[in-house]
Amino acid sequence: MSVTAQPASRGPLFAGHSKLSDRIGEPLLRVLTGLAALAGVGVLVWIAYTVFNQASPAISRFGFGFLGTSAWDPVHLRFGAVDFIFGTLESSVLALLISAPMSVAIAVFLTELAPRVARRPTQILVELLAAIPSVILGLWGIIVLGPFLNNTLEPALNGAFGWIPLFSGSASPYGMLSAAIILTIMTVPIVSSITREIFDTTPSEFKEGAYALGATRWEMVRMVVIPYAGPGIVGAVILGLGRALGEAIAVTQVIGNTAGIHASLFPPSGTLAAQIASEYQGATSNLQVASLVYLAAILLVITVIANAAARLIVSRVTAGREQWAP
């Protein structure tokens, strides 16, 4: 990058270029690209400013107590975020608890186990899962998954593990479990593709060394690949978490959209993003609108922290290694 412009040593080859066009073109491109970069950063700041500004009536009314209050009553104007914060964290963490091990397994399969010819097609298929629009996953969740949970899976879980509070109570086609499963499907491709990329960067000398010492394939993966990729996997999981925390549409379609904290996974619940999607347009008072935007502000802070952490970890791990994949 630090190649400074050489003193003009124009050969005849470039004699045709007028100095005028250089004098305009060079700064023009510099300014245009600089402005674009400024716009890219600026819009982030602008979003944050606008959201906090519009939430300010609720912020000044409820203060930080909003974060710990369990209430959503538009008639008596009592609002609080704790139910939705809890729902957001619960659905996303559950989703990642399933999708993280699954993703690591997929990455192992793709880098170590699959026959060479199968690797690329499988990888593409898994990554295409990330391209399915969330509204379609939600549609599938409403029409296919919901009835299955209500009629089959939840009664079965309740029958077998009903003594665990998580699986207590009666089944419901809309609820936390449904949301968690949809979010699992959404996060698997994200986490697995990053994990696979990091696995791919494991130096082959390390792997060969392990094999030379007589390790089986699993021992090699467990003692070389996973420790080497560890921080990167954490980063990938947090990145998936960021996606799950912010998903509004698919979650609002399947979660049932209610306030309340339940021990069981079956009853309908709510998340920050889903609550905004379901109530923002129909809010009955200015305070309710501001409270919904307050939820948006909380969501923004949570996802920015998650993404920043993930990016810092991933970039530290992959620093210096070429990585470009869509």
Partner 1 sequence: MGAVSPETSPLLAVAPRDRRRRVVNRIMEVVASIAALAAVALLLLVIGSVVVKGISALSFSFITQNPAPFGQPGGGIANSIVGTAELVGIASLIAIPIGILIGIYTAEFAPSWIGNSVRFSLDILNGVPTIVTGVFIFGLLVVGSQQSGWAGSVALAIVMLPIVARSAQEVLALVPRSLHEAALALGLKRWRVVLRIVIPTAAGGLVTGAVLGIARVAGETAPLLFTSSVFSNLGITTSPSQALPNIPVTIFTLSESPSPTDHARAWAAALILIFMVLVLNIVARTFHDRSRRRLRG
Partner 2 sequence: MATKLIRKGSVLLAVAASLGLAACGSSSGGSGSSSSSSKNLTGAGSTLVAPIMSQWQSKYNQLKGVTVTYGAIGSGGGIAQITARTVDFGASDAPMTTNQAASCKSCLQIPWALAATAIAYHVTGVTNGLKLTGPVLSDIWLGKVKTWNDPAIAKLNPGVKLPSTKITPVYRTDGSGDTYAFTNYLSHISPQWKSQVGTSTQVHFPVGLGGKGNSGVGGVLSSTNGSIAYIAIAYVTSNHFDDAAIQNAAGKFVAPDVSSITAAGATATSIPSNNAISIVDPPASAPAAYPISTFTYAIVPTKSPKANELKPFFDFAISAEGQKYGPALEFGTMPARVVSAATATIAKIHS
Q: What part of residues 57-96 is at the interface with partner 2 (CB under 8 A)?
A: 71-76
Tally Cβ neighbours within 10 Å of residue 263: 11
Which 60-99 positions form the footprint of partner 1 (CB under 8 A)?
A: none
The one among 71, 82, 93, 102 contacting partner 1 by CB under 8 A: 102
Which two structure tokens, joined as six digits, stand for 56? 């300010």
Q: What is the smallest separation between the CB atom of 158 and partner 2, expressed in angstroms?
A: 13
Stretch that binds partner 1, among 112-120, 153-161, 165-173, 225-233 (CB under 8 A): 112-120
Residue 185: closest CA among 103, 268, 242:
103
Of all helices (H) and strands (E), which one includes residue 78?
A: strand 78-79
The one among 284, 304, 305, 316 contacting partner 2 by CB under 8 A: 284
Residue 17: closest CA among 25, 5, 6:
25
Which two structure tokens, joined as six digits, stand for 40? 């890219």
Q: What is the smallest separation between the CB atom of 136 and partner 2, expressed in angstroms?
A: 15
Task: Tell me which of partner 2, partner 1, none is bound by residue 300, counting a contact when its beta carbon lies within the kind-specific cut-off of 5 to 8 angstroms.
Answer: partner 1
- Pairing label, strands 78-79, 72-73: antiparallel
Cα R_g (the chain), whole angstroms: 25
3-state SS, residue 72 = strand
Question: Which are the contacts of 177, defined by CB distance < 8 A and separation ≥ 6?
Answer: 149, 153, 154, 265, 266
- Residue 78's DSSP bridge partners are 73
3-state SS, residue 73 = strand
CB nearer partner 1, residue 224 or residue 273: 273
Task: Tell me which of partner 1, partner 2, none is bound by residue 284, counting a contact when its beta carbon lies within the kind-specific cut-off of 5 to 8 angstroms.
Answer: partner 2
* Whole-angstrom distance, CA of residue 273 vs CA of residue 306: 15
* Whole-angstrom distance, CA of residue 27 vs CA of residue 24: 6
Which 112-151 positions form the footprint of partner 2 (CB under 8 A)?
A: 142, 146-147, 150
On whether the CB atoms of residues 193 and 99 are closer than 8 A, the answer is no
Q: Determine if 185 is a binding residue for partner 1 (CB under 8 A).
A: yes
Q: What is the smallest separation between the CB atom of 201 and partner 1, expressed in angstroms?
A: 15
Q: Determine if 282 is a binding residue for partner 1 (CB under 8 A).
A: no
Q: Determine if 190 is a binding residue for partner 1 (CB under 8 A).
A: no
CB nearer partner 1, residue 60 or residue 281: 281
Task: Tell me which of partner 2, partner 1, none is bound by residue 122, counting a contact when its beta carbon lies within the kind-specific cut-off of 5 to 8 angstroms.
Answer: partner 1
Task: Tell me which of partner 2, partner 1, none is bound by residue 18, counting a contact when its beta carbon lies within the kind-specific cut-off of 5 to 8 angstroms.
Answer: none
Dihedrals φ, ψ of 140, to 5°?
A: -65, -40
Q: Per-residue contact track with partner 2, 223 to 262, x per CB under 8 A? A: -----------------------------x---xxxx---
Look at the alpha carbons of 279, 139, 248, 245 in this order and tell me if their dihedral is positive or negative. positive
CB nearer partner 2, residue 166 or residue 283: 283
Which 151-210 positions form the footprint of partner 2 (CB under 8 A)?
A: 170, 172-174
The site for partner 2 (CB under 8 A) is made up of 71-76, 142, 146-147, 150, 170, 172-174, 252, 256-259, 268, 278-279, 281-286, 288-289
